[in-house]
Amino acid sequence: MNEPFLSRTANFCDACTVRNRAICGDLDNEEIVALNAIGQRRHLSAGENLLWEGDDAVVVANVVEGMLKLSTSTADGKEQILGLAFPADFIGRPFGHSTPYSVEALTDVLVCVFRRADFDKFAREHPRLEHKLLERTLSELDRTRKWMLLLGRMTAEQRVATFLLDLSVRFPVEEEVGTQPGAFALRLSRGQIADVLGLTIETVSREFTKLKKAGVVSLPNRREVAIEDREALEDLAS
């Protein structure tokens, strides 16, 4: 779907699947109603951008469904992926004037979008949201440091193992596949995983094959992974 902002519905916050984990999770019912009044839902198709690096910071958003990538352009014009955004993550730059990175949907995505000026005003008037925003900012800083370690110091084996463990937590079997304990939907192609992890497609495929032969994971198909030996996978990631 490529429609712009969807019309508001009175109870989309009540029906939100990530409300308890999102930035608005600590708000009371009255505050939720007020936040609902300034928010709108939007669908993005895979490959569609929500934000562009360097543009005016017009909107911020909560991720409800799907996965997005955060990226920047290097001096020679190459793309550098800074991280991924998952359901319940908050993206955009509140209280800022420009967007520091591009945000592109890797899968079909549903986001709850707020005009940045409206969100800034709401945050100033509701300390609990402002406090939650600070917590998220610090958590994002921790994630960024971990990402730097992943790309700068870890071997290909460690990168793939860490990535799979992260996805298994983000997209548990009960919500996505439901056919095999420890299974989850991969959602990304081998090429996308290579871009995210700073590896080649051949290296990613080779690491998947090694994990499968070692009995650490099984691969029901190219878009599903089942962790057969979590302890071994954690050892490889460490």
Tokens of 79: 């793309």
Query: What is the structure's pLDDT at 178?
Result: 47
Burial 190-223 (b: 16+ CB within 10 A, else e): bebbbbbbebeeebbeebbeebeeeebbeeeeee
> What is the reported pTM?
0.76
Query: What is the structure's pLDDT at 75?
Result: 82
pLDDT tens-digit series, residues 142-178: 777 777 776 778 899 999 998 898 888 877 654 444 4
Q: What domains sit in the chain, N to C, each tagged with a CATH number?
A: 29-151 (2.60.120.10), 155-237 (1.10.10.10)
Query: What is the structure's pLDDT at 179?
Result: 55
Collect the ranges in the chain with pLDDT lower than 50.
1-10, 174-178
Contacts of 14 (CB under 8 A, 6+ apart): 32
